[in-house]
């Protein structure tokens, strides 16, 4: 039974890692949920320790922060105006509903529109759009990295530090 629970948790976590990149999959939320459910179904002897769960919660919070601010930081670093940053954020929200291309193009389009509304010159508009795009790509890479770290931490915590 322990092996079955462990296998199910790891499979859900792998889906969660995919969800750090694929829209509409909960990503790190699914990874954390799999660890918590495994703890309660397997019990304290076979499940994740409270220390491991605390570590996974910390990583989860980091993934949320990376997700929320990456595009905005990229835009700001490349000189976006307030309207460009707001546009990039709105574009991110809209892009989520447009699938994988929307994840990349939504923030870029939003930042460009925001910069155009701020009446910036074309060179600065493109620079801010590129910054938002770069921030979004780096944010996805960061979420993917945190998701993999969560999965590896869970597996290592159960295999190396249990029994």
Predicted model pTM: 0.80
Give the count of beta carbons closer than 10 Å to the beta carbon of residue 26: 13
How do residues 40-77 score in pLDDT, each as one tens digit? 998 888 888 899 999 999 999 999 888 778 877 887 78
pLDDT digits (tens, 9 = 90+) for 72-114: 788 778 888 888 888 888 888 888 788 778 878 888 888 889 8
Neighbouring residues of 97: CB distance < 8 A, sequence distance ≥ 6: none
> Under a CB-based contact definition with an 8 Å cutoff, are residues 111 and 128 in contact?
yes
**How many residues comprise the chain?**
163
Separation of alpha carbons 123 and 141, rounded Å: 27
């Amino acid at each position: 039974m322990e092996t079955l629970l462990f296998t199910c948790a790891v499979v859900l976590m792998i889906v969660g890692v995919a969800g750090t990149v694929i829209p509409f999959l909960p990503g790190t939320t699914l990874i954390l949920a799999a660890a918590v459910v495994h703890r309660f179904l397997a019990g304290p002897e076979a499940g994740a320790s409270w220390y491991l769960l605390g570590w996974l919660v910390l990583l989860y919070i980091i993934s949320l922060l990376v997700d929320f601010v990456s595009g905005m930081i990229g835009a700001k670093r490349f000189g976006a105006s307030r309207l460009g940053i707001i546009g990039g954020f709105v574009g991110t929200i809209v892009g989520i509903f447009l699938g994988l291309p929307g994840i990349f193009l939504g923030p870029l389009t939003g930042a460009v529109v925001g910069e155009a509304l701020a009446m910036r010159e074309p060179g600065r508009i493109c620079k801010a759009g590129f910054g938002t795009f770069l921030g979004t790509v780096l944010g996805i890479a960061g979420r993917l990295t945190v998701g993999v770290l969560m999965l590896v931490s869970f597996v290592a915590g159960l295999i190396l530090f249990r029994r």
